[in-house]
């Protein structure tokens, strides 16, 4: 029997509600769950052997991993420094568990702040060249917490169309209006800022864009931000370890640390752990401590993760040769892909996309590479436009030239068989 809905989640005022579904066992099933039954795309891909997600890895994240008892060359990891299996980091994590236990049993706001959380925040602030820093449980939560806490009802946030999902979601959680500018298009950003009459304005960008591997045009964005009195928040998730004099990110890479208001990121990539951080002026950090719901209402970063991050940060600073090796591997692989005749878009970093186009070809290439022992990631909509699917490669400082040469040989053979060379 139909009824009329009048609550905030209505289909519309006075719209009859859809009837519940009667399942095969005779029990009613809420229409809310109808979408789950209709979602068949994943199962269809599983049935034809082209489902690329949630692959079960049976070993540490390293240049080679074990999947299904088979050794594979890892070209799909974000461990740019190659530190996730470093024995020094594992020992630091073990020592933290011995001293502090396995978890904190509460949020940072109440009982979950350890002395090593404070130490890490001081180390991150110094690393970024900021007055203060705060640590979140994940990088995703850092973006949710910062944007939703700072962008109020009278404010506007301006995000790049290819910003990470956590930036998009943080912008949605805030009460301000969201504007999206064309990717790395500073003129479009300038136009949108000029049309805005908001009380406060914030520009949020990725330092390195995670799918295409290009670097934000921060040197051009800074004067535009000043022109319109807008704050700048750079998410350095993929930039730490990669850019900057000591691996300290995009702002340092451009010599613009003092011009960037907030720098955030994650520990889950170059820093071989999990967690998130934000560095800024001391008053901004103190405000976030008391207003960022993603911090206040989440259990705090586990002791082992904190200690692992501290040791990884120490190694990144002390061993610049790792960054040199990463960039040598990046240039070697990029030149090799170009020599084959593959389109890598605007990539200029260790993230190396192979532009495919058609989704079917993208999944087929992924499967062929997988069967040949190469772990890569297919990228399809909504992470990229539907007609611009990608095979996303990423290199580590610890890859050997022999490993990368073998990968290029396999990639070339498969790419030629699929007709995607020199399109």
Print the SS3 string covering 294-343: HHHCCECCCHHHHHHHHHHHHHHHHCHHHHHHHHHHHHHHHHHHHHHCCC
pLDDT of residue 12: 39
Q: Over the stretch 1-16, which tens digit does the pLDDT of each residue have?
A: 333 333 333 333 444 4
Beta-carbon neighbour count of residue 121 at 10 Å? 20
Domain at 46-75+320-418: CATH code: 3.90.1150.10
CB within 8 A of 53, min separation 6: which ones?
42
Q: What Rg value do the Cα atoms of the chain yield, rounded?
A: 23
CB-based contact 257:129 (threshold 8 Å): yes
List where CATH 3.40.640.10 sits in the chain: 87-318
- pLDDT of 82 higher than 90: yes
DSSP character at residue 192: H
Distance CA 267, CA 144 (A): 16
Distance separating the N- and C-terminal Cα atoms of the chain: 58
Q: How many helices (H) and strands (E) does the chain have?
A: 15, 15
Active site positions, annotated: 210, 238, 269
Region(s) of the chain under CATH 3.90.1150.10 = 46-75+320-418
CATH 3.40.640.10 corresponds to the domain 87-318: yes
Give the per-residue pLDDT at 26. Answer: 61
Residue 203 neighbours by CB distance under 10 Å:
26
Is the CB of residue 121 less than 8 Å from the CB of residue 135?
yes
pLDDT in tens, 320-374: 999 999 999 999 999 999 999 999 999 999 999 999 999 999 999 999 999 999 9
Distance CA 409, CA 94 (A): 40
- Predicted confidence at residue 422, as pLDDT, reads 87
E strand or H helix at 204:
strand 200-206
Q: pTM here?
A: 0.91
């Amino acid at each position: 029997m139909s009824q009329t809905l009048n609550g905030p989640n209505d289909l519309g005022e006075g719209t009859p509600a859809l009837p519940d579904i009667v399942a095969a066992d005779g029990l009613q099933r809420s229409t809310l769950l109808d979408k789950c039954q209709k979602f068949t795309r994943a199962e269809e891909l599983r049935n034809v052997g082209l489902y690329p997600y949630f692959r079960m890895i049976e070993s540490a994240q390293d240049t080679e991993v074990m999947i299904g008892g088979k050794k594979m060359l890892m070209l799909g990891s974000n461990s740019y420094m190659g530190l996730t299996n470093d024995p020094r980091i594992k020992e630091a994590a073990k020592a933290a568990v011995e001293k502090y236990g396995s978890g904190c049993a509460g949020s940072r706001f109440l009982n979950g702040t350890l002395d090593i959380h404070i130490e890490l925040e001081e180390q991150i602030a110094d690393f970024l060249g900021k007055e203060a820093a705060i640590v979140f449980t994940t990088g995703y939560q850092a973006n949710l917490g910062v944007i939703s806490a700072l962008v109020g009802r009278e404010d506007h946030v301006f995000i790049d169309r290819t910003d990470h999902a956590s930036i998009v979601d943080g912008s949605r959680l805030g009460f301000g209006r969201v504007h999206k500018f064309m990717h790395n298009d500073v003129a479009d950003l300038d136009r949108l800022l000029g049309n805005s009459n908001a009380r406060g304005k914030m520009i949020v960008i990725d330092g390195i864009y995670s799918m295409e591997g290009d670097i934000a045009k921060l040197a051009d964005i800074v004067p535009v931000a000043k022109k319109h009195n807008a704050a700048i928040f750079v998410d350095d998730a993929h930039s730490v370890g990669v850019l900057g004099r000591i691996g300290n990110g995009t702002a340092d890479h451009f010599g613009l640390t003092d011009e960037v208001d907030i720098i955030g990121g994650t520990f889950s990539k170059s820093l071989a752990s999990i967690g998130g951080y934000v560095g800024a002026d001391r008053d901004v950090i103190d405000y976030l401590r008391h207003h960022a719901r993603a911090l206040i209402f989440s259990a705090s970063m586990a002791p082992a993760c904190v200690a692992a991050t501290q040791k990884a940060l120490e190694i990144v600073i002390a061993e610049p040769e790792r960054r040199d090796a990463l960039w040598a591997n990046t240039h070697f692989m990029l030149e090799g892909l170009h020599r084959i005749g593959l389109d890598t878009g605007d990539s200029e970093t260790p993230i190396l996309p192979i532009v495919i186009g058609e989704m079917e070809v993208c999944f087929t290439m992924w499967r062929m590479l997988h069967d040949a022992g190469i772990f890569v990631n297919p990228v399809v909509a909504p992470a990229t436009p539907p007609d611009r699917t990608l095979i996303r490669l990423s290199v580590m400082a610890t890859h050997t030239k022999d490993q990368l040469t073998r990968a290029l040989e396999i990639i070339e053979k498969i790419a030629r068989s699929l007709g995607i060379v020199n399109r």
